[in-house]
Amino acid sequence: MLPYLFLASIIMLACVALHKFSDRLGIPALLAFILLGMFFGTDGVVKIPFDNFVFAEQICSIALIFIIFDGGFGTNWDAARPAAGKSILLSTLGVVMTAGLVGLFCRFALHMAWLEAFLLGAVISSTDAASVFSILRSKRLNLKYNTASLLEVESGSNDPISYMLTVIVLSLMTNTQSQHGTAYLIFAQVVYGLLLGALIAWAATKLLKSVRISSSGMETVLVTAIALLSYLIPTLLGGNGYLSAYVVGIVLGNTELPFKRRLIPFFDGVTSLMQMVLFFMLGLLAFPSKLPSVALPALLVALFLTFVARPIAVFLLLSPLKAKLSQMIAVSWAGFRGVASIVFAISATLLAKPNYDIFHTVFFIVLFSILLQGSLLPPLCKKLGMIDEKEDVMKTFSGYNGEIPVHFIQFIIRRDHAWCGMQIKDLALPPDTLLVFLCRDGKNIVPKGETRLQEGDRLVLSARPSERPEGVNLSEKLITEDSPYAGRPLRESVKGKKALVILIKRGDRVIIPNGDTRLHPGDLLLINRPE
């Protein structure tokens, strides 16, 4: 048990390190997780033996629930609404068209059997939310014409449609459904997924608004249970659990909940962990030695998908809506294939056992897509003039707080204070600073320009906080009675070559120190330790 825990810790640390340095390496972070899995895998350097497709499919399906739920939860519907029509077209008809075109290419160019050709098309027909979100956020890539919101909603909502197509083709390949059964399967996947998702979202909203949670952290447990149930209930009834999870996520993410601000960082962390686990496990499951055998057909499919199928679907659907040419090119290029495609390929391997290696074929296509399209999307958008410098892409996520934060400063006017006896209108306040409150002799006074400040007045100032300046990392240190630095000069007290004591507060006095200033018990040091 202990060796496995140790290995898991090392792997998570390596994933965090790769995430931090992925930009410097010039590759998307999610691709780095896959490569790390391949490094640890059977054909890699560490050579961990792992080829359990059943276990991998179960773990990956659970991880995908949270990724899809968070895709909805993190989408700001107010920002996404102008692009919702285009997004829904791409995530429904666009997925069907892409699957059909790829299926036809595989049938006539690669001479696959009809159902096997369309199985591959269905599996790789959706774009990857994790990759899209990761690149938009990490690159702060806000795009004109609401394109960022369009891509977020499309990539977050099209996995359920791809899953539905995969289930339909698999049912035909395994002869588990008649024609009427297939029609009902389509009905159940869409209607049950949407209807039950809406009902669960309604019930969850009522519950979360009415429940009173006394223990901190329990709200995250409650919403996690809701996310899992949003997938499980429709799935047990034959519906599309992923579609339901997305619907519940987008409703909860755009509902004012009493503890919503605590949920956002929690689900960001959970989703990041799930992405690490998912991409690493898929890399671990892959055998790099098998990639050369599928490289040529996989490359042909990847090129056709990237340069023919995806652009045709995008242009046919968005041109009637009078979308800009630059927008359609950017949306076409942003159609990354990703983790959902590989998870669906695992299910296809287990259920249908096609005559070709669908898992490594899809794995190759995903590597190609993330590496080529993910790396080139930012410069391509810049070349197309699609970058919107005036907006912040984070506004398109529900975690964005559009309210301006305010800091408050409280102090008492003493006899020797420079403001004592001055009128408020004569005070030289810093920019973006207001005097909002004045208390005198226990009475609250509305401050006016003619109000003259007196000794003992308690003032409250409001100020808008600025962004943290580069190279500034402030902290406080209190010198106590038993501190080893009490009575010693400052130069012997602060450790670290870059550390600088900016000021010392001693009682009511503020001291600008030098190296010879001796520290006294009760001194409060303001220290800057640049990162």
Residue 310: how many other CB atoms lie within 10 Å: 28
The backbone torsions φ and ψ at residue 504, rounded to the nearest 5 degrees and listed phi first, read -125, 125
Task: Give 293-333 pLDDT, tens digit per residue.
Answer: 999 999 999 999 999 999 999 999 999 998 899 999 999 99
Q: Find the Cα–Cα–Cα–Cα dihedral 72, 75, 81, 82, rounded to 10°.
A: -130
Which pLDDT score, from 0 to 100, does residue 403 have?
A: 44
Which pLDDT score, from 0 to 100, does residue 296 have?
A: 94
Which pLDDT score, from 0 to 100, does residue 393 have?
A: 57
Which pLDDT score, from 0 to 100, does residue 402 have?
A: 45
Which pLDDT score, from 0 to 100, does residue 199 have?
A: 95
Residue 449: how many other CB atoms lie within 10 Å: 9
| Cα 497 to Cα 469, 476, 503, 517, distances in angstroms | 20, 17, 17, 18
Q: Which residues contact 26 (CB under 8 A, 6 or more apart)?
A: 375
Sheet with 433-440, edge to edge strand ranges: 407-412, 458-463, 433-440, 443-445
* Mean pLDDT value of segment 25-50: 77
* Contact (CB, 8 A) for 503 and 512: yes
Structure tokens at 95: 């997925």
Which pLDDT score, from 0 to 100, does residue 404 have?
A: 47
* Mean pLDDT value of segment 93-100: 94
| Cα 206 to Cα 201, 202, 210, 234, 244, distances in angstroms | 9, 6, 6, 20, 17
Residue 187: how many other CB atoms lie within 10 Å: 12
Q: pLDDT class for 398, splitting at 50, 70, 90? A: low
Angle separating helix axes 29-40 and 358-369, nearest 10 degrees: 140
Q: Does the structure show a pLDDT above 60 at 400?
A: no
Task: Give 464-485 pLDDT, tens digit per residue.
Answer: 665 555 556 667 777 877 777 8
What residue type is 276 in one-letter code?
M
Domains of the chain with CATH codes:
2-395 (1.20.1530.20), 407-463 (3.30.70.1450), 474-528 (3.30.70.1450)
Percentage of the chain beyond pLDDT 90 is 21
Listing DSSP states for 454-493 in one string gives -TT-EEEEEEPPPPPPTT--EEEEE--TT-TTTTSBGGGT
Look over the chain and give the mean of its residue pLDDT values, rounded to a whole number.
Answer: 82
Distance in angstroms (rounded) separating the CA atoms of residues 80 and 90? 14
Q: What distance lies between CA 164 and its chain's CA centroid? A: 25
Distance in angstroms (rounded) separating the CA atoms of residues 165 and 178? 16
Q: pLDDT class for 122, splitting at 50, 70, 90? A: very high
Listing DSSP states for 240-276 in one string gives -HHHHHHHHHHHHHTS--TTHHHHHHHHHHHHHHHHH
Provide the β-strand partners of residue 518. 489
Please count the residues of the chain: 531
Q: Does the structure show a pLDDT above 80 at 430?
A: no
Percentage of the chain beyond pLDDT 70 is 86
More confident: 442 or 103: 103
